[in-house]
Amino acid sequence: MHALTPTRLSLALAAAGVAVIALLAAPQGLEAQGMEDDNPAVLWSMRGEELWATPVGPKQATLEDCDLGLGPGVLHGAYAQLPRYFEDSGKVEDLESRIVTCRMTLQGMSREQAEAGHFSATGEDSDMEAVVTYVVEQSQGIPMNAPSDHPAEQAAYAMGKEFFYFRSGPHDFGCVTCHSQDGLRIRLQALPNLAKPGGAAETYPSWPAYRVSQGTVRSMQHRLSDCLRQQRLPPVAYNSDLLIALTSYLAQESKGAPITAPGLKR
């Protein structure tokens, strides 16, 4: 159960009820440095690279011509400029929804097929988690620069921001309820202050991330869906306007911050 990484060590010690304050500095350092040699996310990226170039779907096509905003097949730096408005779909898309669009247009899949298995479950790997890890890795070190020129990009940002501060649900929680103070944590997990200027920049560019506690890479949409669940809201649909809006808000707030993803988190 316990590996030799600092992350695992602190988890193991925490389980044993031992104070781990000093050790916690190590995994945070790791996050700041981006993908380290011991980050299993690299295994997802390797699989993603293979999936990217594998012909599938009714059209037996690969994803190699997928246009992530910088032109067909251009991966380098593409993640830094997402979400963005796409003329062809007439929508603001984040990485995950854009890959779904490419699966539908290039590979001829239905939406249902293209979105199948978007989050992994025990014993079931997710192709989306692997592909996303591969694509994001091609933007490592590049500063976030999600565009905000198009009115649709501005509208998505505004909706995400409004929702961030909007309290709802049985506990009357908003994102802001849990994410507006410095230095808080829940159990061993740091609770970022996303309401202060530069707050999002400290965490958004580290997603997607390998979660040691879950043994898999989790995407941004998974992170947000889980927070909405913690907010006690009904499940939100994958690639829904709300998830794209929240992602647009966090991405645009992170302007200038270099991408460190795939991250490594507890």
Partner 1 sequence: MGSPMRIRAASDGEMIEVKVLMRHEMETGRRKGPDGELVPALYINAVTADYEGKRVFNGHWGPAVSKNPFLSFRFKGAAGGKVTVTWTDISGDTRTDEATVS
177 interacts with ligand HEC by CB under 6 A: yes
230 binds, among ligand HEC, partner 1, none (CB under 5 to 8 A by kind): ligand HEC
41 interacts with ligand HEC by CB under 6 A: no
Residue 146 near residue 83, CB atoms below 8 Å: yes
Distance in Å, CB of 175 to ligand HEC, minimum: 3
- Closer by beta carbon to ligand HEC, 231 or else 248: 231
The 3 state secondary structure assigned to 24-54 is HHHHHHHHHHCCCCCCCHHHHHHHHHHHHCC
| 237 DSSP assignment | P
User: How many helical (H) and strand (E) elements, i.e. helices and strands, does the chain have?
Assistant: 10, 7
Spatial distance between the Cα atoms of 241 and 97, rounded to a whole number of angstroms: 10
- 13 three-state secondary structure: helix
Candidates 27, 34, 69, 192: give the one binding ligand HEC (CB under 6 A).
192
254-200-212-237 Cα dihedral, nearest 10 degrees: -90
Number of residues near partner 1 (by CB under 8 A): 18
Q: Tokens standing for 139?
A: 């933007």
Distance in Å, CB of 117 to partner 1, minimum: 16
- 92 three-state secondary structure: strand
Distance in Å, CB of 130 to ligand HEC, minimum: 20
Spatial distance between the Cα atoms of 71 and 40, rounded to a whole number of angstroms: 30
* Annotated catalytic residue 102: no
Candidates 201, 246, 257, 259: give the one binding ligand HEC (CB under 6 A).
246
Within 95-154, the residues that bind partner 1 by CB under 8 A are 122-123
| Contact residues: ligand HEC, CB under 6 A | 164, 173, 175, 177-179, 186, 189, 191-192, 194, 203, 206, 223-224, 227-228, 230-231, 246, 265
Q: Which residues make up the interface to partner 1 (CB under 8 A)?
A: 1-5, 8, 37-40, 42-43, 46-47, 122-123, 212, 215
